[in-house]
Chains A and B, each alone.
Chain A
C-alpha cells in the first residue's frame, strides 16, 4: 500500500463486449482515495463514472468485465483478485455502496429495520435481539430518521427518506470506504442538500473515505475535498476542489465549469461544441481533441499521459511534465 491511501486504483480498465465492438467504459484510470477524504468524481452520461464506481466493488454486471488494473484496499489487497467469499466479507463491512435512486435498491416487501438488520447479522452475528434493535435505532438516528421509520416499508417513505435509509445501510458497519453513486440525483434541491449533509456528517463520524460520483458541479463544489473529472472512460483531471474551480487545467474541465449556470451574473451560456464520443469509437489521441479549443499537433495522434504537479494530475498535452 503506497502513501497511506485507503483505496488505490491503478490503471483500472472495464470493458463491455458488445456485438458492435468493445466499449472501453473505463480505460486506464488511476487514483488514490486518502483516509477521511471526500473525493468527487464528475462526468457526463457515458463517461464511465458509474461503471467505474461499481467496478471498484466488483458490482459491475456483464457484459462489463474487468480488463485490467488493480484496486488495492488497505489491509485487504487487490479487490479484483478476491474470490467470492473474500468479496462477500469486504462488501458492506469494509467497502459499502450508497446506490443511485434508493427507491430501486431497497426491497419493497421488507421493513426498513429488517433490511438494516440483514447486513449487520450477516457480518457480525452474535448481537442479541435487543442489541440489534438498539443498533438499528441508533443507525436511523444517525441519518436523521425517527425510530418509527424502522417499522415502515419503502413505499411509505419519501425519496429523501429512502436515500437516508440507503446511507444508514451503507454505513451500518462503519466501512472505511463508501462509494456513493449519484446519491442525490432525482431529489429536489432542499432535500438534496439535507441528504448530502447527512452523508457528510455520517462519513465524518465514522471516519470513512467517500467517493462521490455525480454530474452536478455545484454539488461537488459544496461537498468534495478533491475532485476528479472523467471524459470518455479516462480520468482527465484530478485536483483539490478549490484549485480545480479557480484554476482548471484541462480544457474540458474549464469548459464544463463555464457551462454551469450560476446566480452570480447573467451571461451568455457557454456550451461545449460537439457531443461526447460513443465509447466504441473513441477518437484517436486525446479523446477530447475534436471538441477542444486548444488542440494542437500531438492531440489527434498521441494519447496524453497523466502528469502530476502540486498535488494535482492532468492528462493533457498542454501540460507536459513528469508522468504521474
Chain B
C-alpha cells in the first residue's frame, strides 16, 4: 500500500547574498506521511519565520526540497510525468491567507470556480459544471444566487475566503493545504470557514494541513499538530497531548502566551528568561531554542536534540526527555493519531463514492 504523500527527511535551505552567502534553514529534516485511508487534520503551528509556510509550499510542490524527497503515491514529485503531475496538482489544493489577493478584480468570482472546472475537465457539460459549483458553494454555506455573478469587491472578506474553500473543494482533492486561512477574516465569520474545513474531512474524507500561528483554532479543528521553531519540529503529536499538556519549553511558552478570552484566566507566569524572541540567528550546534530556554542544561548547547517519544501520541525535541527513545528515523507518523472515527460519522452516500474502505495499516 503506497501512501498518498510522504515527506522523507525533507529540508529546505534558502541562500542569499553573493559575497557573504547566508543560508537559512527554513525546514529542517521533516519526515511524515499523509495517508488517504484515514483522513485527518494536521495543524502546522509556529510563529513568523518558523518555516511553516515553506513546509506548505513543499507539500504543494511549488518549491523543490534542498534535500530529502516529497513522494506522491510512491513516486518522487520531481519525477512525475506530465499526466501524473496534473493529477498531483488537482489532488492537493491550496487555500491561501489573503482572500483579497487570490482574485483578479476584473473577473467575476465565478471565474475562480469555472476555470479550474474546465482545466481539470471535472464535468462534461455546462449544466454539470454548474451543478458542481452550486454543490461546493452550498458546502461552505454560501447562497449560489447571492455569490455568483458578483465581483470580488462586492463580497466581504469572509465570503471571499469561503469561495476559495469552495474552489478547493470543487476539485475533489485528497489533501487541502490551508495556509492561515482565517487570519485575515473577522472573528464572527472565522468559525464558518473553520467549520467548512472540518466538514471537508468529515464528509468528503479530505485530509487537511492547517498552517497557523493560532494554537486555539488549531486545537479546535485539528487532530494532530506539529510545532515548528526556526525550521525544526520541536514537538508533535495529538492536539490533546501537545496543546493541553505541552512538553517542549517553546510550546509551553506559546501556550502560556495565548490571551484567553476570560478576564479570570490571566496570562500564565512569564516562562521566558532571556533572548530576543524575534532574532533569526540560529546556533550552528545545539538546540535552536537554547538561548531563550528557561530550563537549558549542559547538553543543550552542544548538540541538536532528537525528537524523543515520551508519550504514545507525543514527541518533543528536548533533552529533558532523552530517557525516552528517539523517534525511529525521526518519523512523525507514530505520534499522530489515526483518525478512523470520522469514517463512521461521515455521510455514507458521499463517502462511498469517494473513499476506499479503511485498511488496518497505520500511518497518519
Contact = CB atoms under 8 A, between A and B. Distances in A.
B12 interface: no
B188 A259 contact: yes
Contacts of A161: 278
A291 to B, nearest CB: 8
Interface string B180-216: 0000001111111011000000000000000001111
B186 A276 contact: yes
A193 B259 contact: yes
Interface in B238-260: 243-244, 253-255, 257-260
Given A159-B278, A188-B213, A219-B259, A242 B264 contact: yes
A261 to B, nearest CB: 4
A260 B261 contact: yes
A270 B187 CA distance: 10
Contact of B263 (A192, A245, A263, A266): A245
Contacts of B277: 160, 188, 190-191, 194
Given A190-B257, A269-B195, A221 B216 contact: no
A272 B189 contact: yes
Contact of A221 (B47, B157, B221, B260): B260
Nearest to B250: A190
A263 B187 contact: no
Given A158-B276, A262-B216, A275-B189, A245 B261 contact: yes
B266 interface: yes
B123 to A, nearest CB: 30
Contacts of B263: 221-222, 241-242, 245
A216 interface: yes
Contacts, number: 126
Interface residues of B, number: 44
Interface string B258-283: 11111111110000100011110000
B264 A259 contact: no
A5 B107 CA distance: 52
A190 B48 CA distance: 11
A321 interface: no
Contacts of A276: 156, 186, 188
B53 interface: no
A189 B219 contact: no
A190 B272 contact: yes
A87 interface: no
Contacts of A241: 263
B219 A261 contact: yes
A215 B186 contact: yes
Contact of A262 (B156, B187, B188, B261): B261
B262 A271 contact: no
A242 B263 CA distance: 6
B9 interface: no
- Pairs A-B, 5 closest by C-beta atoms: A158-B278, A269-B191, A271-B191, A218-B259, A272-B188
13 contacts: A44-B188, A161-B278, A189-B47, A190-B254, A219-B259, A221-B263, A245-B262, A259-B187, A260-B216, A262-B261, A269-B191, A276-B186, A276-B188
Given A190-B47, A270-B191, 5 more contacts: A188-B48, A189-B47, A192-B257, A245-B263, A264-B260
Interface of A: 44-45, 158-161, 188-194, 215-219, 221-223, 241-242, 245, 255-257, 259-264, 266-272, 275-276
